[in-house]
Amino acid sequence: HYLLELWGCNEKIGDEAEVRDAVEEAVEAAQVTLLGDVHTHKFNPHGVSAMAIIAESHISVHTWPEYRYAAVDVYTCGDDAQPEKALEVFRKRFSPMRMEVQEIRRGILL
């Protein structure tokens, strides 16, 4: 489970279609299985949220364009997923001046 914080992002984080496209590209890059469509919501006056439910868990994005900030979660399970590649998609798409990534290992320990 990766938590990604992006500061100093470009204007794309305020565009609902751009955020949706970024999530769709991240799903493909991570080699995970999208269940249905990416769901998005544009807030008034600022901000976009997007959620992809994937067979391996989820990818979500919440943006605050007025602060040029975005928060992203990439949560996957299984050995075949490549969540690190999804992180790179958001870095390239949103061009942050600063990016921090935190990894949280989750799972059932038997």
Q: Which member of 49, 58, 77, 95 is catalytic?
A: 77
Residue 60 is among the residues annotated as catalytic for this protein: no
pTM of the model: 0.93
Residue 9 is among the residues annotated as catalytic for this protein: no
DSSP annotation string for 18-31: HHHHHHHHHHHHHT
**What are the φ/ψ torsions at residue 44 (nearest 5 degrees)?**
-110, 120
Neighbours of 88 (CB within 10 A): 13
Structural domains in the chain, sorted by start: 2-103 (3.60.90.10)
The model's pLDDT over 55-78, given as tens digits with 9 standing for 90+, comes to: 999 999 999 999 999 999 999 988
Looking at residue 110, its pLDDT comes to 54
**Greater pLDDT, 26 or 105:** 26
pLDDT band for 79, please (50, 70, 90 cuts): confident
Is the pLDDT confidence value at 19 over 80? yes
Strand stretches in the chain, DSSP E: 2-7, 39-42, 48-54, 57-64, 69-75, 98-103
Q: What is the mean pLDDT of residues 85-106?
A: 95
Neighbours of 35 (CB within 10 A): 11
